[in-house]
Amino acid sequence: MDFISQLPYYVSLIFTSVLPFLIVLTIVVFFHELGHFMVARYYGVKVTDFSIGFGKEIYGFYDKHGTRWRFAWLPLGGYVKFVDDDNAASVPDADAAAKLSPEDQNGSFHSKPLSHRAAVVAAGPIANFILAIVIFGGIYTFVGETISEPRIGAVVADSVAEKAGFKEGDLIKSIDGAAIDSFSDMQRIVSVNANTQLSFVIDRNDRELILPFTPRKQKIKDRFGNDIDIALLQVQRFIEPSIGAVVKGSVADKAGFHDSDRILRIGDTPIHSFNTMQRIVSESPGKLLTFLVLREGKDISLTVTPASAEITDSSGTKKTIGRLGVHSPRGNLKKKYNPVMAVWKGTKETYFIVDQTLSYLGKIIVGRESADQLGGPIRIAQISSQAASVGILPLINLIAVLSVSIGLINLFPIPMLDGGHLLFYMFEAIKGKPLSERTREYGFRIGLALVLMLMIFATLNDLIHIKVL
């Protein structure tokens, strides 16, 4: 009876956690293996199996070419197996190859020219990158990109940004020579450059200044309550000093504020951004404030006492702040692009993920970064569930990001991975003949050990991350 009573919970868990994970991983793995499969078919290689997942088959069928398309019970990857392969890692089986019929020998993968084999192996990661570019390009075309001016609306008091000299109203022009087109561009560059000095070019009152700044990591909670370490500039996005909407029944509503009122002054303080108005109100719970607002071309004076509200800040400290009861104006714009420009921006986004991933791994190797951000299947499942809870678009975006990651990881020169096969082919091209069977066997054993150790490490990281360990 206890299981029956808990049945709705388990059904909900499957749909909110397991299903999004399976959808994300299946799509990414399918396109990776499809890349191998299509190029293999193009070069006349006979494919015996196309598998999503490992282990015992759940469901499968044969196509007209004799390939078994199968879904297996362990959905943590997939493989394409050729007629002369010994296993799913495409290790050649010399004995089996010798027993092949003349027709099958013609379709043997390992008898194909080196260039053909390399193309088949590289096609998997390339398919992942293409998938990501298409997804990002589709988002830029049909949904658009959120654009907000890279101008600072407020600087957090006593922050490293304030000590570095940043001020309200500064317009970020470039960071280390990279042009900054939106506030999110600036945030993203800062977030992945902890403890790295960056050179900011800013426009301050029509004067160009250069400010060196070294972001520091902070532990914060994301919207789902996860603890994450991220580098922050500790500034707020500039918002025009206008009221987007007045909350009905709020102190602002009772004081006579209207939607679209532009705040000119609070007391004797000129107001140049919504952020400044917000800060003054926050610091004035229960205090009478006099606002000068511009409404339909006329200056109007309004008095209001901000309501008191208790909040808990990021450090866990409770404090009382003032609340007016107004919403900021919509400062973000959605910009859509034509398909050509969208694909170009999708390519840039894909390159950015590759570049930052390699940079992060390089910093781990030299000891400048911790490896605690490396995640495995459990973390992917958690993120998939959280993305799905927000909507279909974040889940689609996650598929693109994960596709880039899977493509990049598979290019690492580790035997068992695609990059390991390409490494062997490089030696074959240099020597003029394949490496010996014994060398390849030892290589694959080492590669398997490395992959297993990485999976164990990532899984332990996942368990620590979700506070199981």
Q: Which residues are catalytic?
A: 33
Task: Give 361: exposed, middle or buried? Use CB within 10 Å, 0-12, 13-18, 19+.
Answer: middle
Asked if residues 399 and 406 have their Cβ atoms less than 8 Å apart, the reply is no
Q: List the structure tokens of 345.
A: 């921006």
Asked if residues 380 and 455 have their Cβ atoms less than 8 Å apart, the reply is no
Q: List the structure tokens of 271.
A: 């107001």
β 298-304/289-295 pair status: antiparallel
Q: Which residues contact 339 (CB under 8 A, 6 or more apart)?
A: 137, 141
